[in-house]
Amino acid sequence: MKTLIRTLLYLALIVWLGAEIFFPVVAAVTFTTLQPETHVAGTIVGQLIRILHGMGLVSGMVALALLALAPALGVYKPRAVLAPMALVVLMMAFTVYSQFGIIPAMEHDRIAVGGDIDAAPPMNPYRIHFNKLHNRSEHVEEAILLLGLATLVLVAHAETSRV
């Protein structure tokens, strides 16, 4: 049972972090392949980030449940799971902020300029705001990745302080 809990916990973290690591690669390939069609590429990447966020939230809930259950089953010491749990909650909070705050605001700006953000003049306030939000979304995803790596390190460290 202990091995199963640890395996599922690592799997949840691997799924989320793997998606976070490979998402920029997929986005770069999409924009490179569809270079003249940035609107199409942006639409594809927008759908992919929604999928990424869904995967992250499910993985986060699974990881939280397993981390909460682990001390009761003698997998980890209770104090050893507190920091990883806090980091997973932060990761989920950033994901929710991106999914339900940043992305809808970017979509609003895109629609306000007629659907194609690149067709708007560079000084258009909606385009400026869109670019600001895009930059913020990149920083949020980077923070999620760094928090995930820190979580992974703390969970691995908890292995050495098992009951």
Cα–Cα distance between 125 and 127 in angstroms, integer? Answer: 5
Residue range(s) defining the domain that contains residue 101: 2-160
Position 41 scores a pLDDT of: 77
41 compared with 122, residue with greater pLDDT: 122
C-alpha dist (Å) from residue 121 to 103, 132, 150: 21, 15, 41
The total number of structural domains that make up the chain: 1
Q: What is the mean pLDDT of residues 43-64?
A: 93
Task: Please state, in angstroms and rounded to a whole number, the distance separating the CA atoms of residues 22 and 45.
Answer: 12
The percent of the chain in helix, strand and coil, each rounded to the nearest 5, is: 85, 0, 15
- Distance, in Å, from the CA atom of 26 to the CA atom of 22, rounded to the nearest integer, reads 6
51 burial (CB, 10 Å; 0-12 / 13-18 / 19+) is: exposed
**Is the full-model pTM beyond 0.85?**
yes
